[in-house]
Amino acid sequence: MNKPFGVVLVLAGLLLTVYGCASKGYIRTRMVHPDQISVQSLLETWQDYTIHFTGHGRGHPSAVLFKPKSDGKVVIADRWWKVEQYEILADLVDSIQRQLPIAYYYPRLLQLMGPDNHRYGYVFTSWDHVVAKLVDERTIIIYDLPLPPYLAIDGGDAPHGMEPQ
């Protein structure tokens, strides 16, 4: 009785694995060369984008997402907050630019690229990656980056070697 149940369990596991790994496409990130586009040029044309940020609130942003308004693509940004004021956007970008590098985590501009090499948008972050999933040819889901690297890796602003009281 246990052997047939085990076979069914293994087959179900294989089926789920194959189904989960087989996808229509993927989203990849690529660093943007400053000659192509810069964070400053994104700030100057900020009204051409739908903008969101994620992180540990406005004081500790992990990333800022710039999604072109006119491309017909849909970016579902769960746990990202919409930015509608230039002053807030400038403050968020400045906060990320001031984050001290930790190992290979430093401020960078990434492109979100789909399987057809279509650009879904840009992400400005100190992380070296963004986790996103392709839903269909028009839609991606981009997941949050809950903490900036200096909080996630370093633990924050406390002096090294000192334990909290």
Look at the alpha carbons of 144, 68, 38, 114 in this order and tell me if their dihedral is positive or negative.
Answer: positive
Task: Look at residue 6 and tell me if it is in a domain.
Answer: no
Report the predicted TM-score, pTM, of the whole model to 2 decimal places: 0.75
Task: Look at residue 92 and tell me if it is in a domain.
Answer: yes
Looking at residue 87, what is its pLDDT?
97
Look at the alpha carbons of 82, 85, 86, 91 in this order and tell me if their dihedral is positive or negative.
Answer: negative
77 token code pair: 């940004």
Task: Look at residue 157 and tell me if it is in a domain.
Answer: no
Task: Look at residue 8 and tell me if it is in a domain.
Answer: no
The residue that leads in pLDDT, 161 or 133, is: 133
Task: Look at residue 9 and tell me if it is in a domain.
Answer: no
Task: Look at residue 62 and tell me if it is in a domain.
Answer: yes
Looking at residue 18, what is its pLDDT?
40
- Domain of 55 in residue numbering reads as 25-147
Number of structural domains, the chain? 1
Looking at residue 56, what is its pLDDT?
87
Looking at residue 85, what is its pLDDT?
97
Looking at residue 99, what is its pLDDT?
86
Looking at residue 86, what is its pLDDT?
98
Nearest to 77 by CA among 54, 111, 58, 100: 54
Provide the phi-psi class of 151: left if phi over 0, else alpha when psi is between -120 and 50, else beta: alpha
The residue that leads in pLDDT, 26 or 148, is: 148
| 25-52: average pLDDT | 85
128 φ, ψ (degrees, to nearest 5): -95, 10
85-142 pLDDT, tens per residue? 999 999 999 999 998 888 788 899 999 988 878 889 999 999 988 889 889 888 889 9
Looking at residue 94, what is its pLDDT?
95
CB 148 within 8 Å of CB 62: yes
The residue that leads in pLDDT, 20 or 43, is: 43
Task: Look at residue 121 and tell me if it is in a domain.
Answer: yes
Looking at residue 96, what is its pLDDT?
93
Tell me the average pLDDT of the chain: 80
